[in-house]
Structure 1
Amino acid sequence: MIKKTGQPGYLQIADDLRQQIHGGSLAPGAALPSTAQLAETYDASLSVVKMAVGILRNEGLVVGQQGKGVFVRDDVAPGPSADLAGEVSELRTAVRDLSVRLARVESLLPESTERPASPS
């Protein structure tokens, strides 16, 4: 399910599928669910799902076989990349949260604030 976090849905789906691949839930050689199934799972449009899968293709995590589907590459193994993907996801969340907090603080500041004179 795509969350209203400010992060585009296709990136959320790509992050989730990437974590499943690196975490072993989607093993090397395993077929990804069909585009229609992923769209239903994530409550997203087909085009959003296709963009997410395209990202994974560009990263070399999955390969498409005409008429057969999209499969996790055989040479993808769980490992440090899983930690890195998780850290990137956590960092995105932290930056997003900080942006929201900063916007709140800025909204409380008066329009024109005078800066104190710097000591000479």
Structure 2
Amino acid sequence: MPFGEQPAYLRVAEDLRQQIADGTLPPHTRLPSQASIRAAYGVSDTVALEARKVLMAEGLVEGRSGSGTYVREQPPRRTVSRSGYRTLGECSTFRQEQADERVRGTWEGSSERVAAPAGIAERLRIEPQEPVMCTSYVFRMGGEPVMLSTSWEPLCLTGRTPVMLPEQGPLAGRGVVERMAAIDVVVDNVAEEIGARPALASEARVLGGLAGHAVLVISRTYRAGSLPVETADVIVPADRYAVSYHLPVR
């Protein structure tokens, strides 16, 4: 194969992808069978199978047990807004994750005391296996799950205080900034890093996607000066949501 030339299965996948994009193969249409692809493009069964696998991995088609492979209907893409103006203000847990004031949402969360995994301990600047409060959230808009979040707070800071449990006590459901202020910890900066990876089966089950499809992972850490007081991973389905930032310019 000459340098720079695409493998045959990618060329076939690209042509089928274009047919999906331009409506030649609309949503819910059955994808041509492996035999049909082989005949139409003059390729082997292996090439036809690999082309179908590419489209499935991209989330453009889905298999239906006993029926075949069909073009998926792509949901309209919406925006999750995050803002440097709001992250340090008093807010609810939902508002902490979605800064658009027009969006009304709900959340549910549960907390448990765990030993800090090595990666989380590094983010919190504590020793591995030190106790942390781990809280898992599901965020919904209009009843639809849109985000997952898992947060960790060091119990050396919050243990035996009224804010030890984020969803219980006098400040239940409030944002990190307000809760920490109640124990005289002044949060004054937050860092976020965005990456992407395939969705875990457990995440896809809650968010309504397919395992292996891409999700955005927002790794966030709140700090009081240089002291990390909370770190979290926010999971957003990449095929349904874009993450938008509105940041002040100084």
Please indicate the TM-score interval, normalised by the length of the shorter structure.
0.5 to 0.7
1:67-112 CA distances to partner (integer Å, 9 max, x unpaired)?
21110002268xxxxxxxxxxxxxxxxxxxxxxxxxxxxxxxxxxx
Runs of 4+ in 1 over 3 A off after TM superposition: none
Output the amino acid matched with 1:11.
L
Q: Secondary structure at the match of 1:64?
A: strand
Question: Going by fraction, where is helix more abundant, 1 or 2?
Answer: 1
Residue 57 of structure 2 is aligned to residue 58 of structure 1:
yes
Q: How does 1:22-33 map to 2 (within 5 A)?
A: 22-33=21-32
User: Rg bigger for which structure?
Assistant: 2
Q: Secondary structure at the match of 1:36?
A: helix
Identity of aligned residues (%): 44
Change (3 A) 1:73 1:53: same
Change (3 A) 1:57 1:76: farther
Is there any run of 5+ residues in structure 2 with no aligned partner, and where?
A: 77-250
Kindly tell me the number of residue pairs found equivalent between the two proteins. 73
Is there any run of 5+ residues in structure 1 with no aligned partner, and where?
A: 78-120
Change (3 A) 1:76 1:50: farther
**Contact 1:62–1:71 (CA<8 Å) still a contact in 2?**
yes
Q: Secondary structure at the match of 2:5?
A: coil
CA RMSD, Structure 1 to Structure 2 (Å): 1.6
How does the TM-score come out when normalised to structure 1?
Answer: 0.57
Change (3 A) 1:62 1:76: farther
1:29-78 CA distances to partner (integer Å, 9 max, x unpaired)?
1001111011100100111011011011010000011221110002268x
